[in-house]
Structure 1
Amino acid sequence: MKIVFMGTPDFARAALEKIIEAGHEVVLVVTQPDKPKGRSGELQVSDVKACALEHNIPVFQPVKIKEADHVAYLKSIDADIYVVAAFGQILSQEILDIPRFGCVNIHASILPEYRGAAPIQQSIIDGKKTTGVTIMQMAAGMDTGDILLQREIPIDEEETGGGLFDKLSDLGGELIVEALPKIERGELTPIPQDEAKATKCGKLSKDMGKIDFSKDAETIRNLVRGLNPWPSAYTYLGGKMLKIWKAKTLGEVDLGALINSMSPEDGSRAKEISQSGDVGSVVAVLKDSFVVLTGGGYLKITEVQLEGKKRMDVKAFLLGYKISAGDKLGD
């Protein structure tokens, strides 16, 4: 089929590459305008644009795709279907109606769950055990169209937002390549989404990463995983921002075993702190980690990054920064 591909970040690039590899003719790539990056303000092309240029595919970069002249241009392109993946702009009904087979979207969740901008990270933050990709016939609403094809995968216990992003990016490419010939042959039956089961998720922001130690340890661990690598979970230590990159949960039994392995003085101090209920307090400091009291259980922190420093494991961090039982994390 002749395809117009609309997408912007690296998540969409994987799909575009697989569509090209499958032998489909991509007649146009539509992506967001180049944006200035860093202090230099040098314009940076999107991942999708870079891929299009490598394959000598024409690129269109409208600021607002709904404008009349942009819609007229799209109508002039001979395409059978539009494939959309993390494009970053809402398509009008007029645009959705242009191609013969309509517009299909690659969405990184099992719809109707997690409609919106950051379904990958939110699924980890919420502690979900599975997620997946949906190929959806686009409608005017936000991720509300009929479901054409879905595939589910498990979320590993130690999975991060970045790792899951890569897996779903590859899966999205595989699934759209499977869907396209079936769409052309009329072999897929559109299934309306169950609105009663619909959930939404917003865009990621740096503010989301601030750790609230009054929450339970598992909730905080999921936040750490979900926001790794961006925008990252963080707290404060000695007035400086401390990013938490890796952490594990400890229950009462685990903490008890830990305290029993410590010296009598350190063990007594750990018990005192754990019983105080002062969340965010450091309960114990080990060679390769430190343990923090939360609103439910204990968080064993194993990889950090202090403001102005490199990311490192806690064993290396403790060689240059002293943390003691009783120190407090947070504002």
Structure 2
Amino acid sequence: GCLNVHASLLPELRGAAPAQWAVARGYRETGVTIMQMDEGLDTGDIRLQRGLSIADDETGESLLRKLAPLGADALTQALALLAQGRLPRVPQDHSKATLAPLLSREDGRVDWTRTAEELDARRRGFTPWPGAWTTVDGAVLKIQSARPVAGSGAPGELLAGTAVACAPGTAWELVEVQPEGKRRMPAAAWLQGARLKPGHRLGT
């Protein structure tokens, strides 16, 4: 049979984008699994696993960079144990499986009814692609950096400064944005240029 390196602690995050979804869903830990390949999608027996903590400022991109050498080390270790006849083989608990499907552009669309913490985790997880984006009067606005703050209003409503209301009691303060067809800029400069006032709704 064949061995495969998968960038999650299976049976969690089966699929094409495990590192991105680990960050996007707010996981505190992930890792790599050396698994026995079978006909299913990442359903084979677990041969070896190595864990890794996810940093508060982690992005999908930075996590992939950390998981690559971890996976290489784990595979080297697994092959050495296999040669000695000492590599364990444990079936996955399929009842605990979660999926990490291939990302689409729509995954990056900001749903302002989520909490600011959820939105920020998704923005980091989906960096560099599809990122986090919303629409302002029909034009796409990419949110390059932001931070959760306290605030309240209707989901997507522009509050004081550069904060936008999210799920009850949370707001997402935009720090750096990229309007459609333009370069990245501070959110305050974009707001000034676009002449948007508090109360304006994003996502329309």
Is the partner of 1:299 in helix, strand or coil? strand
Structure 1, unmatched stretches of 5+, are 1-101, 256-273
Q: 2:183 aligns with which of 310, 323, 329?
A: 310
Structure 2, unmatched stretches of 5+, are none
Residue 247 (1) aligns with residue 123 (2): no
Residue 282 (1) aligns with residue 158 (2): yes
- The one-letter code matched in structure 1 to 2:73 is E
Is the partner of 1:284 in helix, strand or coil? coil
Q: Which residue of 1 aligns with 2:101?
A: 202
Residue 291 (1) aligns with residue 126 (2): no
CA distance 1:165–1:313, shift in 2 (3 Å) = farther
* Displacement of 1:318: 4.9
* Displacement of 1:330: 0.8
Q: 2:4 aligns with which of 91, 94, 105?
A: 105
C-alpha distance in 1 between matches for 2:148 and 2:194? 23
Q: 1:322 aligns with which of 181, 186, 195?
A: 195
* Displacement of 1:319: 6.2
* Displacement of 1:136: 0.6
**Which structure shows the bigger proportion of residues in helix conformation?**
1
The normalised TM-score by structure 2 is 0.92
CA contact (8 A) 1:225 1:245 kept: no
C-alpha distance in 2 between matches for 1:155 and 1:316? 32
- The one-letter code matched in structure 2 to 1:283 is L
Aligned-residue RMSD, C-alpha: 1.7
* Displacement of 1:161: 1.0
Q: Which structure has the higher relative contact order (CA within 8 Å, separation 6+)? A: 2
Matches within 5 A, 1:1-331: 102-251=1-150, 255=151, 274=152, 277-285=153-161, 290-296=162-168, 297-315=170-188, 317-318=190-191, 320-331=193-204
* Displacement of 1:320: 4.3
* Displacement of 1:204: 0.5
The normalised TM-score by structure 1 is 0.58
C-alpha distance in 2 between matches for 1:181 and 1:313? 52
C-alpha distance in 1 between matches for 2:198 and 2:192? 16
C-alpha distance in 2 between matches for 1:161 and 1:311? 20
- The one-letter code matched in structure 2 to 1:295 is A
Runs of 4+ in 1 over 6 A off after TM superposition: none
C-alpha distance in 2 between matches for 1:187 and 1:116? 28
C-alpha distance in 2 between matches for 1:235 and 1:324? 17
C-alpha distance in 2 between matches for 1:152 and 1:241? 38
Q: Which residue of 2 aligns with 1:60?
A: none
C-alpha distance in 2 between matches for 1:169 and 1:317? 37
- In the TM superposition, what whole-angstrom CA distance separates every residue of 1:96-132 from its partner, at most 9, and x where no partner exists? xxxxxx2111100000111111111111121111111
C-alpha distance in 2 between matches for 1:110 and 1:301? 33
- In the TM superposition, what whole-angstrom CA distance separates every residue of 1:120-154 from its partner, at most 9, and x where no partner exists? 11111211111111011111111111111111111
C-alpha distance in 2 between matches for 1:311 and 1:164? 24
C-alpha distance in 1 between matches for 2:32 and 2:175? 32
Is the partner of 2:70 in helix, strand or coil? helix
Identity of aligned residues (%): 44
- In the TM superposition, what whole-angstrom CA distance separates every residue of 1:191-232 from its partner, at most 9, and x where no partner exists? 111122111221100011111111221111111111111011
Paired residues in the alignment total 203
